[in-house]
Structure 1
Amino acid sequence: MAAHTGRFSNGKLITDFLVSSLGLKQTLPASSDPNLTVADLLTGVSFASAGSGFDDLTAGTAGVVTMGSQVHNFEEYVGRLREGVGREKADGVVKSAVFVIGAGSNDLIMNYYLTPLRRVSFSVDEYHGFLLQKMESFVQRLYTLGARKFTISGLPPLGCVPIQMTINTVTALMKTGSFTRLLGPRVCIDQQNADSVSYNSRLQALINRMESSLEGTRFAYVDIYNPVMHMIKNPGAYGFTHTSIGCCGSGMIEMGPACNGGSCADTSKYLFWDSVHPSQATYRALSDQLMQSLLSQLTN
């Protein structure tokens, strides 16, 4: 986590750029911030918890807030908003608000690929189904609380995340006893990328079903996979010179709080901030693409 940002990055996230582009505020504050005013609540807050996921096991392992607790925090937000501006206006704000949902990567990386916590009980397809069922339940709970507009992000190419490439390289080294692979070029893991594509396809089908079954809703699927792959294959178009390692530390294994100290000279040259999370430059590029299609999908 970069010092003073409160985010697992060196600066702003996609949601920060979105609220800034809409002229609402420069960054999206946490709902738990004790200094929030009613005016702050009216223009958006974040209920997210870094390190969490659709699977409660993910949050439990990381010691962070579960998705269920995030919904509970949203319920408290609605109550506070009603107290501040009245039920009718508060409910109108919730109905017109855009709910940005992005999870799943932590679940697969932490529970399936790095450690076999879920791999002993699920095939990867079964685990995808488990996560999507959790996500659907999450959306339905928000719907009962008045939410009507949703953007839901798919998975990025998980096989190209630096820590995944590092673990794959070390595993190959342990099997062969040769340093050739360790010292060679870092390459994405095709099977994990294929897993991401499969999950995203099922997610899009589920989004279509939810929009049909939940009256009055609008959904926008946010494609993260293809834009990130384009950045990896065409780094120069985005000003990147490093796409397979992160900026902080060695860039190959450190993530989150372990990245408080030491970083590269120019973070804008790196697609990843640490070994898992994108840099501010990447989030900016993703938000620019998202803004081009988001509003039309939710308002047409």
Structure 2
Amino acid sequence: MLQEELLIQEGILFDPSSVEEESDIEDLTLQAISSLQAAMEKLTATVDELKGENSILKAKVDASMESLFYKGAENRSIFQNMVSVDAMDLPFLNAYLDSLGLPNFRKGSNFAAAAATILPATASSLCPFSFGVQVSQFLRFKARALELIAKGRKFDKYVPDENIFEKGLYMFDIGQNDLAGAFYSKTLDQILASIPTILLELEKGIKNLYDQGARYFWIHNTGPLGCLPQNIAKFGTDSSKLDGLGCVSSHNQAAKTFNLQLRALCTKLQGQYPDSNVTYVDIFTIKSSLIANYSRYGFEQPIMACCGYGGPPLNYDSRVSCGETKTFNGTTITAKACNDSSEYISWDGIHYTETANQYVASQILTGKYSDPPFSDKMPFLLKLKF
């Protein structure tokens, strides 16, 4: 059964600010990266914890932890602390289900959800918003936006223009929960055998979006699942099951197999739809390199969580999440944050720290990990510490 703590945000982001002209094909990916803050809303689940857009995550954050993320009273998210959104001149995307206040979808919408999977949700799933549901939500969003546009210009400042649905960038980061969750009930061979079915569901959703006018797709592969303290604590108690980095071999094997087939799918889609642009981003290599060479980038702890309970080597206890205090057998324990999260790659055993995500972002920005690769002639290329 999928553990309660596995709350990686996964799904679709729609960003219409990415493409200004249809003829600007070469610059598509450059402009796509200019909306990287949207992608990082997915890479860092804490963003929605702090913005209150995801009740599952929000309920697991202790108020005492807010000082680690809020800079003054500006309600800034983690990625804004890493890379200035002002330098990119782009806003954060409102969640599709954010009905409070007056959400502005002019620049796009976030359909991602914590613990989402590609495969349809079941009765035991933590999140009902699987990939197919997110696609359906987008289609509803588009239909409703077009209805509002037809009513007159008074809604123009809240919803995208009609032609933006073709010019916009569709960003995907999903699949990790399908793999990681499966290990609680299936063997490695069974999981490997299920990957084509998982990707068939992804392909169906992407084709559905294409049929609705989407042309620009930005697709992340999955990271080294076996290097997450959560998975090591559960599946890595036998040292023979760990690789040279101390990560669970089976989980990383599943991730690599998934990524190989995902890359093949991206190539297939590009061939089937020559008028589209399908960009595959190798997150696995970026994160694996970070873990293997952690000291080179100023980190002290490649695996151990900053915020958790239990101390070395993992500082992770599935019974108590970051910021929580619980009592077991008469003993009260608290999962506290470390003194300096910048020394750690893992924040809470599941998600990366701000500094680690800054490294990941900086590597994505190089364009070296994208297929097809993109130029480094980025109009706003930021000089990050890495």
TM-score (norm 1): 0.80
**2:169 aligned partner:** 98
Shift in CA distance, 35/57, structure 1 to aligned 2, threshold 3 Å = closer
CA distance in 2 between partners of 1:29 and 1:188 (Å): 35
Residues 54 and 103, structure 1, Cα contact 8 Å, conserved in 2: yes
Q: How many residues align?
A: 282
Residue 125 of structure 2: SS of its match in structure 1?
helix
Superposed CA RMSD? 3.6
- Note the C-alpha offset of 1:60: 4.8
Residues 56 and 66, structure 1, Cα contact 8 Å, conserved in 2: yes
Residue 178 of structure 2: SS of its match in structure 1?
helix
- Note the C-alpha offset of 1:143: 1.2
CA offset digits 1:243-270 (Å, max 9, x no partner): 2122222242449x93244322222222
Shift in CA distance, 44/269, structure 1 to aligned 2, threshold 3 Å = farther
1:195 equivalent in alignment to 2:261:
no
1:31 equivalent in alignment to 2:102:
no
**1:135 aligned partner:** 202
- Note the C-alpha offset of 1:129: 1.0
- Note the C-alpha offset of 1:190: 2.5
CA distance in 2 between partners of 1:17 and 1:149 (Å): 24
1:271 equivalent in alignment to 2:330:
no
Shift in CA distance, 158/296, structure 1 to aligned 2, threshold 3 Å = closer
Which one has the bigger helix percentage?
1
1:43 to 107, 113, 119: 107
Residues 217 and 278, structure 2, Cα contact 8 Å, conserved in 1: yes
Shift in CA distance, 71/17, structure 1 to aligned 2, threshold 3 Å = farther
Shift in CA distance, 54/81, structure 1 to aligned 2, threshold 3 Å = same
Counterpart AA for 1:125 = L
**2:360 aligned partner:** 286
1:70 equivalent in alignment to 2:134:
yes
CA distance in 1 between partners of 2:84 and 2:220 (Å): 14
User: Percent of aligned pairs with the same residue?
Assistant: 22
Which one has the bigger strand percentage?
2
Shift in CA distance, 155/63, structure 1 to aligned 2, threshold 3 Å = closer
Residue 62 of structure 1: SS of its match in structure 2?
coil
Residue 259 of structure 1: SS of its match in structure 2?
coil
CA distance in 2 between partners of 1:210 and 1:31 (Å): 26
- Note the C-alpha offset of 1:219: 0.8
CA offset digits 1:111-161 (Å, max 9, x no partner): 2x2x11x549x6232111111111111111111222111111112111111
CA distance in 2 between partners of 1:260 and 1:110 (Å): 23
1:4 to 30, 50, 66: 50
Within-5 A mapping of 1:208-223 = 208-223=267-282
CA distance in 2 between partners of 1:247 and 1:271 (Å): 8
CA offset digits 1:245-299 (Å, max 9, x no partner): 22222242449x9324432222222212222222222222222222332698589
- Note the C-alpha offset of 1:233: 1.4
Residue 162 of structure 2: SS of its match in structure 1?
helix
User: More deviation in 123-132 or 29-38?
Assistant: 29-38
TM-score (norm 2): 0.63
Q: Which runs of 5+ in 1 are unaligned?
A: 176-180
Q: Which runs of 5+ in 2 are unaligned?
A: 1-44, 62-68, 70-76, 152-159, 310-314, 325-335, 376-386
Residues 266 and 280, structure 2, Cα contact 8 Å, conserved in 1: yes
Counterpart AA for 2:97 = S
- Note the C-alpha offset of 1:91: 3.1
2:322 to 242, 259, 262: 259
Residue 123 of structure 1: SS of its match in structure 2?
helix
CA distance in 2 between partners of 1:19 and 1:92 (Å): 25
Shift in CA distance, 98/67, structure 1 to aligned 2, threshold 3 Å = same
Residue 266 of structure 2: SS of its match in structure 1?
helix
CA distance in 2 between partners of 1:80 and 1:272 (Å): 40
CA distance in 2 between partners of 1:252 and 1:134 (Å): 33
CA distance in 2 between partners of 1:211 and 1:19 (Å): 31
